Every structure is written in structure tokens, then in C-alpha cells.
Chains A and B, each alone.
Chain A
């Protein structure tokens, strides 16, 4: 009796432990059909309902786009479904639906790094013809993020690239990272804040310097390029920056929002962040005191080169209404709607013409700098195992920045861990 009670309690406690530790919630991937090809002509006469799924609609852009689309296409009833509050959560939710071959979502809003990943799994439809029809008006770097194995699996919705916000009264507009760090070290009030917490954001912040220095993670053939003098130079540079106070040690705990709030305290000279911060800074007493610059170059050798962010629209392989999805792509990629992306929602348009539009320049005076950043930006490593590669980068960079590892070990570990990730079966 006693033994049984104990076993029962243990089993029950264990079951709760297991249920809460997240087990059994994932399904193994199952085979998808070979990718269907989307026909651009199908958009004509599209009707019925369209379901678009993606992340949290923080600035109202997604709902705004859906509403404007329905006004222009009265025959289609479209709705936007939020899959999760964070990017990670949305990705997990999208993957669960795709693995279950759910037709709940005709179209997914995919982070630029997921597009190749989803395509490699057979979850997306081949949109090459649709994208080709509209790509002349779009910035080439944004179109590049939709490519996987020579085909286009999505169409850009809007884009994103890092910018430097700087206090005009204290520091000069940065031309090179070296100049920025030197100026930042001159006074405790001149410091730089960026996203240095151990997460995806640190990968991006590191790659911005690495790309500017001419380094790379993997090349187009998937060969590992991280074990290079450039990587060592950038790691030493960033670690030294934290040691000598160019960048406050607090960046080791900062994500986007915390670094914005820190800069808003007025105690810093530079902030690396995304374009949407412009509007938020303008709503503080700092309005008028700060300038916006494209990402600086490293050493002045070449142009500054950032990391391309942003979101693409991809049609699910299990979509019930792909024709309406094509109609939506045709709508959102017009130069007219791309202007609204900037004017009404302060996001970086994928359409190039928007950046010189007077209406946009009025709302987004830094459009010229933003275009330089977007055009110079390179995609993150294209790989079906990107998230493991990113973890390999941000964990080891973090270890160097926080002083628990040295550059040489970190470079070795990064290369080893990326190799292991690529060897994934």
C-alpha cells in the first residue's frame, strides 16, 4: 500500500514536471509535398477569405495593411492573426502549424532568417514568378532575403537595418567604429549603448561590425569563414570597448528596449538601435538633440555594412486560398503602399522610391541615412540551422565581452559549434 502510494505520488509529481517542462509538445517533421508553384495570374478574380499569420502587431502595420487591402479588394475578406508575443514564440507557433499541415494560415509573415529555413522544409510555395513581377521597385538586398536555392519563396513586406543615434551636442556624427569608440571613451557621458545580452540581438550587433570589417560567418557554399583575422579583430575591439568604458558594461544586459530607455536617460552619447526608435526618442525631452547616422565603417576600409532585418510574406504549402495571398502581395509591394509603411508606421519600406518621397521625408527625416544602411546591409547566414549558428555566435561573443573567455577560445568554439550545427542530420 505504502509503496504504491509513494510510486503514485512520484509519478504524478513527475508527470506535472514533465508536462510543464515542455515535453511532448513538438511533433516530428513529416514529409511535405514537392513545392507548388504560385501563378501570378491567379490574383485576378481572387475572392473568399485570406488568413495571414505572424508576430505581434506592435505598431498596427499589419492590421493597417489588411484593412487597406480589403478596401482595395472588396471581394476578399482578410484577417491578421497574431501567433505569439515574441519573435521566438511566433516562429514556434508557425512551425507547429506547418508541421501539422494546418490550413489555418494561408500566408505567414516570416522573419528574413526563417524564409530559407521554412523553404528547406517544403512548407512554402515557390513565389519566384510573383516576386519577379514586382522586384524592380524593391531594394535588391531585401529581395535577396527571399531566395533559397535559386528560387524566391516570399516577397518582402518591409525591411530593417541598424542605425546609430547620437547626441549632437556631445559627440560628432560617426564615420568609423574606431572614431565612435574613441569619442565614446572620452567622457562617461559619451558612452555607447547597444544590444549585448546573450540572444539573437547580440548576433546582429556583432555581425554589423564583422561585416563592416570584411568578415563573414559562412559563404554561399556553406564553408565556415568565422575563423578569421577579422573575427579576432572585431572581438578584441568590442571587448576592449567594454573594458575602457566606450560601451557601458550594462549593455551585457540590454535588449532593444532597455538600451533605448538607457539612452533616453541622457547619460550616453551613442545608441545602436532600429529605425522605430526614432519616433519614440522624438516623444521624449531629447527631441531635437539627437542625430541619426548609418552604421559606420570599420577602419574606414570600406562602407559600413549592417545586417538586414525585416519581414517577408510567404505562402504556406497548405494554403487554402493562395490566389488571395498573391493579391495581397501585389497590393503591399506597390510603391504607394510602401510609402505608407514609412509615413504611417515608421518602418523601413522595402520599396526604394519611398525613401525619396516628400511625404516620407517629412515624417522620417533620416530616410536617406536609413536607405544607405538598408542598401549596404547583408543577410544573416543563410542556413536551415540558422538558430544554432546564431546561438554559437552570441554565446561565444558574450563570453568574450563579459570577460569569461578569450578571443582565441571563442573563435575556435564558434567554428566548432557551427560545424556541429551544419552536421545536423
Chain B
């Protein structure tokens, strides 16, 4: 019996009404809190984005309607940042999912020190992004960094390149830094999914004579899909808001300007409150649309599988 049918059956019952009122009272504090921390700031930001605030005469502002949005969407900056952010998010999340699945498979094996290793792999994720960004910058420094020196010693391509000063290469460093930091996070979520796959399924596959690769491709991967989609949702939403890595590594140069950095520059550096807020709202809408798409197309499976499990 589902929750919905319970509710319908009891509808109109006085006891039920009292209970529902009680439920209303009990959820009210969290709903009010949600409204305060989410709805109010969002509403305020939307209001800011519809106005223009004077830089030259304090206190002067004027209502410009969607003017700030028109400016942003008509100019090249927003679309450039939009494209660069999606390039970053697409590449890094794809790599993180592949590497995260591999890492999860390894961590799922039985070996001595497994518990310790599962903790240790999380270290990159625990490091503050700005700190790891500075580390990556130091590693790739053309004079003092060890990466160009190793590349040169091994006669590999990219040896003479000023990585952070070159289109393409700069993005590569940012993707690497992000993959290094967040793959363990993806791996942990995928590992949890891996552990929920029952051993019997594997035994059945073995009885049917499935090879290791076939077992992986036809048993493990489909059953892991909800976990991978979940990890991908988290990572994509994070990646679309990328700020610290380009801020430290390139300050937005060489094709690494992100949507959040652009909004920050307008809001904080240039004090263009209306423009900056409009850019933040555009970032917000972008993230919202992407998560809706994920939940619509990836999330459906989460529900289907959960239903199958129950029945």
C-alpha cells in the first residue's frame, strides 16, 4: 500500500485533519528556515538584477527591467563563459565518472588495509580548492615546476609549453586539477552503489558462464547506473559553478573564464551590482535546467530500479 492511497482513504476523516494540521505545524519551522535561506536571497538577487545601481552617484538606482539580461545575452562575454564552463564541466565530469568507477571497483576488492585506503583516497577531496590550485600552479610553473622538467627529461610533448599561458593547455590543467580533487568523491558514491549489488546476481552470471568483461558490462554497469547518475548530478552542478580553479590559475585568461567568475568580476571587482546579479541568476537558471534534465532522464531510472527492488 502506498502513501498516496493511505492519504486518499483517510481523506475527510476528522482525526486525519487534526493529524495533518499537526504535520503542518511540525514542518513549519523547516519550511520557514528554507524560505529564509533560499527563497529570500533568491528573490532579493532577482530584484537586484532588475535594477541598475549608480557607480558615480551614491544611492542612485533605476529600474531597468530585463535590461541587464539583455545586455548580458547580447554581449560576447556571457556566451564565451557559458561555452567554456560547459567544456570544463563536460570533460571533467566524464573523466571523473570513468576514473571514479575504476577506483570504486578497486576499492571494492578484498585486501589488507582496505579501510585505511578508502579513507586515504579522500585526502585530495579534503584539501581546500584554492590550496590545491596553488599547488597545481607551482607544479606547472615553467621555470620552477617539476612537470615541465619531467616532460623535458622524457622528451614528451608539452615540455616547452607554458601550460597556464596557452589556450587549451590552461583548460587541461584546470580539468586535471578538478579530476584529481573530486574523483575520490565520485568513487565513494559509486562504491556505495557497488556494495548494494547483491552477490547472487554475480553468482548467477557466473553460472551462465559470463566472462569478466561481460559481467561488468551487462551486470555491474547497469546496476551501477543510478549511483553513477547521482555522482554525475552532484559533480555537474558543482562543475558548472567552477570558480576557484580558474580564479587562482589563470584569472579567467586563455579560454578559462567561467560563468561564476564572470558574475564575481562584475559584482565584486567592478561593483556592477545589477549586471553581476543578472549574471548570477543566469548561472542559477543554467544550473537549474541542467539538473532538471538530469533528473528527468537519469533520475527516472533511479525510481524504476528502486521500484523493481521493492517488488
Contacts and interface: CB of A to CB of B under 8 A. Distances in A.
B287 A23 contact: no
Given A1-B4, A253-B142, A391-B269, A404 B167 contact: yes
Q: Which interface residue of B41, B143, B166, B288 has the most chain A CB atoms within 10 A?
A: B143
A228 B277 CA distance: 36
Nearest to B56: A384
Interface residues of B, number: 67
Contacts of A425: 52, 54-56, 60, 62
B53 interface: yes
Contacts of B4: 1
Chain B contact residues: helix, strand, loop or mixed: helix
B44 A24 contact: yes
Contact of A252 (B42, B52, B165, B283): B165
Interface in B236-278: 237, 240-241, 243, 250-254, 259-260, 263-265, 267-273, 276-277
A26 B48 contact: yes
Interface residues of A, number: 56
Contact of A29 (B59, B240, B277): B59
A16 B280 CA distance: 12
Contacts of A248: 142-143
A92 B162 CA distance: 32
B310 interface: no
A357 B250 CA distance: 42
B291 interface: yes
B159 interface: no
A6 B292 contact: yes
B270 A14 contact: no
B228 interface: no
Nearest to B41: A24
Contact of A28 (B61, B253, B259, B268): B61
A197 B248 CA distance: 11
A10 B299 CA distance: 12
A6 B295 contact: yes
Interface string A20-35: 1111111011111000
A21 B260 contact: yes
Given A13-B237, A24-B44, A424 B288 contact: no
Nearest to B282: A21
9 contacts: A14-B287, A17-B241, A19-B38, A21-B241, A21-B259, A23-B284, A252-B165, A387-B271, A425-B56
